[in-house]
């Protein structure tokens, strides 16, 4: 389904595209940089807030664009660790954006690391058997402005609590594309969004602090390797053999491990940085010691860090997380083989779990809304 908004949002424009449109409407091209400053550095939420622009230009902006294409319906700081923002789009679809704080030992709350988890589609077409987004089916791709504005909402909310706002820096440390949807299936939007976030005239946010998580779209992994955006890549592996992956991830039929692993390797070699392999531990599905041994081989081959994530229960799905003992035994195999590996246990600190909850929450709210 394609969605055509009434007016485009300014958050979908680049400095070049806006300059071109200003000049075509007989305004000075240099105004584009001033407008971007209002959006990304001073972070205003109205045309009138753009005080150094002439009135006729503000009127033209108002007639040509909207500012935010997403409107917060719930803004819930559930605890000190996560903050969830439920956003409504112009077509009434709902998406959620999550901010996760990971306080560090000996460091005050203000200085804790903040990661924003964004959505890139409404629903997801890939149908992984364990995932709430897959359950909900696919509605549509998000547009660039809908993705960028998720981050700007969070940024503006955090500005009040941080010194960084005064220095015109983003008020969070990392961005992960781990919310709803498959980033590599909305490829052009992903790349345009990263370029806007990365640009000096934009959020000036380093691509190295952006992680794209994919269920394994091999051709797009190869394309992204050559795209010239230095994002980090996380592969949702969740099975170390085709037999296990086939059971839970339909995408594996199209891009089995013998296709996916060389693509991931090409990305790793092009960028020279560690990949992350995400591995949700699901009881009786992928948590055997044999799987751990196979995973070890893949991690060594790809020079990858493994992030084990105990499965986060989804209502209506039969899967369970393994016992702590079984989780430990799995991780032990990896550690003994000198694989760099983490396992997250605390719910609130767990980006992936928070994003899992994010989807659930979204669906619940949708159901309540009808």
Contact residues for ligand SF4, defined by CB under 6 A: 124, 126-128, 131, 133-134, 181-182, 215, 236
Minimum CB separation from ligand SAH for residue 336, in Å? 24
Q: Six-digit token pair at 109?
A: 């709350």
**Binding test (CB under 6 A) with ligand SAH, winner from 197, 210, 281, 355:** 355
Strands 138-141 and 113-117: unpaired
| Residue 53 vs 353, nearer CB to ligand SAH | 353
CA–CA gap between residue 184 and residue 194 (Å, rounded): 13
Residues marked active site are found at 96, 355
Contact partner at residue 216 from ligand SAH, ligand SF4, none, CB < 5 to 8 Å by partner kind:
none
Which C-beta is closer to ligand SAH: that of 9 or that of 236? 236
User: Closer CB to ligand SF4, residue 124 or residue 235?
Assistant: 124
Nearer to ligand SAH, 171 or 186 (CB): 186
- 356 interacts with, out of ligand SF4, ligand SAH, none, CB within 5 to 8 A per kind: ligand SAH
- Find the helix or strand (DSSP H, E) in which 135 lies: helix 132-136
CB of 286 to ligand SAH, least distance (A): 12
What residue 280 binds from ligand SAH, ligand SF4, none (CB within 5 to 8 A, per partner kind)? ligand SAH
Kindly state whether residue 36 participates in binding ligand SAH, applying the rule CB under 6 A: no
Q: Could you please report the per-residue DSSP string of 47-76?
A: STT-TTS-HHHHHHHHHH-BS-SEEEEEEE
Helix or strand (DSSP H, E) at 139: strand 138-141
> Which residues, including other chains, have CB under 8 Å from residue 171's CB and lie 6 or more apart?
114, 154, 155, 158, 159, 161, 162, 164, 165
Among 261, 309, 333, 341, interactor with ligand SAH by CB under 6 A? 309
Sequence-distant (6+) residues with CB within 8 A of 75 are 83, 84, 85, 86, 157
Q: Does 218 bind ligand SAH (CB under 6 A)?
A: no
Distance of closest approach, residue 283 Cβ to ligand SF4, in angstroms = 18
Distance CA 344, CA 337 (A): 19
Specify the stretch interacting with ligand SAH by CB under 6 A; choose among 33-41, 96-104, 199-207, 304-312: 304-312
**CB-count burial class (<10 Å; 0-12, 13-18, 19+) for 105:** exposed
Shortest distance (Å) from residue 323 CB to ligand SAH:
16
**Residue pair 22/32 in contact by the 8 Å Cβ criterion:** yes
Which of 295, 356, 358, 362 forms a contact with ligand SAH (CB under 6 A)? 356
Does residue 248 bind ligand SAH (CB under 6 A)? no
Say what angle helices 218-225 and 257-271 make with each other, to 10 degrees. Answer: 10
Minimum distance from CB of 351 to ligand SF4 (Å)?
Answer: 14
Q: Which helix (H) or strand (E) covers residue 232, if one does?
A: strand 232-236
Contact call for residue 178 and ligand SAH (CB under 6 A): yes
Distance CA 273, CA 287 (A): 27
How many Å apart are CA 336 and CA 328, to the nearest integer?
Answer: 12
Footprint of ligand SAH on this chain (CB under 6 A)? 130-131, 178, 182, 213-215, 236, 278, 280, 309, 311-312, 314, 352-353, 355-356
């Amino acid at each position: 389904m394609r969605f055509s908004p009434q007016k485009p949002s300014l958050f979908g424009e680049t400095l070049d595209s806006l300059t071109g449109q200003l000049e075509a409407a007989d305004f000075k091209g240099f105004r584009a940089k001033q407008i971007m400053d209002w959006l990304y550095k001073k972070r205003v939420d109205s045309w009138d807030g753009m005080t150094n622009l002439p009135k006729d230009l503000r009127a033209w902006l108002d007639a040509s664009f909207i500012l935010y294409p997403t409107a917060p319906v719930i803004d819930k700081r559930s605890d000190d660790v996560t903050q969830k923002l439920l956003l409504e789009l112009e077509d009434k679809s709902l998406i959620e954006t999550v901010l996760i704080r990971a306080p560090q030992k000996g460091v005050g709350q203000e200085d804790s690391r903040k990661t924003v988890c964004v959505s890139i589609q409404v629903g997801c077409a890939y149908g992984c058997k364990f995932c709430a987004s897959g359950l909900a089916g696919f509605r549509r791709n998000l547009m660039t402005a809908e993705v960028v504005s998720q981050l700007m909402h969070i940024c503006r909310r955090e500005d009040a609590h941080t010194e960084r706002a005064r220095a015109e820096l983003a008020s969070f440390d990392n961005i992960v594309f781990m919310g709803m949807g498959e980033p590599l299936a909305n490829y052009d939007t992903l790349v345009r969004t990263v370029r806007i976030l990365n640009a000096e005239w934009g959020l000036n946010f380093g691509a190295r602090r952006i992680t794209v998580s994919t269920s394994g779209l091999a051709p797009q992994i190869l394309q992204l390797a050559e795209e010239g955006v230095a994002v980090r890549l996380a592969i949702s592996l969740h099975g170390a053999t085709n037999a296990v992956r086939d059971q839970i991830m339909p995408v594996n039929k199209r891009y089995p491990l013998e296709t996916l692993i060389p693509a991931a390797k090409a990305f790793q070699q092009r960028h020279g940085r560690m990949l992350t392999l995400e591995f949700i531990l699901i009881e009786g599905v992928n948590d055997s010691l044999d799987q751990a041994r196979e995973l070890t081989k893949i991690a060594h081959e790809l020079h990858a860090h493994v992030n084990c994530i105990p499965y986060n229960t989804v209502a209506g799905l039969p899967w369970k997380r393994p016992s702590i003992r079984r989780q430990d035994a799995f991780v032990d195999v990896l550690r003994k083989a000198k694989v760099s590996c983490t396992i997250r246990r605390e719910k609130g600190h767990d980006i992936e779990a928070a994003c899992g909850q994010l989807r659930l929450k979204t669906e619940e709210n949708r159901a309540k809304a009808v």
